[in-house]
Amino acid sequence: MESVTDDIRQLVADMAETMYEAPGIGLAATQVNVHRRVVVIDVSEDQSALMALINPEILERSGEQVCEEGCLSVPGIYEKVARAERVRVRALNAKGEPFELDAEGLLAVCIQHEIDHLDGKVFVEYLSALKLSRIKGKLAKKARITA
């Protein structure tokens, strides 16, 4: 995606609405079945810091932190995942302007998590085979109960 069109800006607005209603702090376009490299994030307490990352790429990673993560794509599952403590990311904003951002803590985790979605990966893939097996069992049980 070379430029940000009105369609992309509308996608960002729609994704933000979906993320806030979920409620969540990040959403990748692939999670709403749109195959574009678009992410929305807002880690503020009051939903006042919406950020769009279009064509994001992580330039640098440093440090390590372990945080509990959850995901709208894997509802009800929360597990500890090791991620970089700090990242530098380059992207376009919703106006189509390029920017670079140095992020740490929760914002860094969220950026890595959402870019993983764009690359076809979900956070549970970082877990051990045993934990992954337990999660699959929980999800299968939940599917049987709701069927």
User: What is the DSSP secondary-structure string of 33-99?
Assistant: T--S-EEEE--STTS---EEEEEEEEEEEES-EEEEEEETTEEEEEEEEEE-SEEEEEEE-TTS-EE
pTM, two decimals, is 0.91
pLDDT at 99: 97
> What is the residue-averaged pLDDT of the chain?
94
Catalytic site residue 114?
yes
pLDDT in tens, 89-110: 999 999 999 999 999 999 999 9
Which is the CATH superfamily of the domain at 6-146?
Peptide deformylase (3.90.45.10)
Annotated binding site: 71, 113, 117
Annotated binding site for Fe cation: 71, 113, 117
Q: Which of 45, 60, 85, 114 is catalytic?
A: 114
> Does the pLDDT at position 2 exceed 80?
no
